[in-house]
Amino acid sequence: MTMLFLPNLIAALIIPISLVAIVGIIGFLIYRFVLHDFMCNRSVNATLKEFHIKKTQFQIIKEYHAFKGKEISDKEVLFLQKRYRQREPDQFLSMYDSMRDKSDPSKEK
Closest CA to 95 of 71, 49, 103, 74: 103
Q: Please state, in angstroms and as integers, the Cα–Cα distance from residue 40 to each residue in 45, 56, 91, 97, following that order.
A: 9, 14, 13, 20
Count: domains in the chain: 1
Indicate if the pLDDT at residue 85 is higher than 80.
yes
Per-residue pLDDT reduced to its tens digit, 58-72: 999 999 999 999 999
What mean pLDDT is predicted for residues 68-90? 94
Mean pLDDT of 10-37: 92
In residues, how long is the chain?
Answer: 109
Whether the predicted pLDDT of 1 surpasses 90 = no
Calpha distance 31→1 (Å, rounded): 46
- Predicted model pTM: 0.73
> Does pLDDT of 109 surpass 60?
no
**Average pLDDT along the chain:** 88
Domain that residue 72 falls in: 2-107
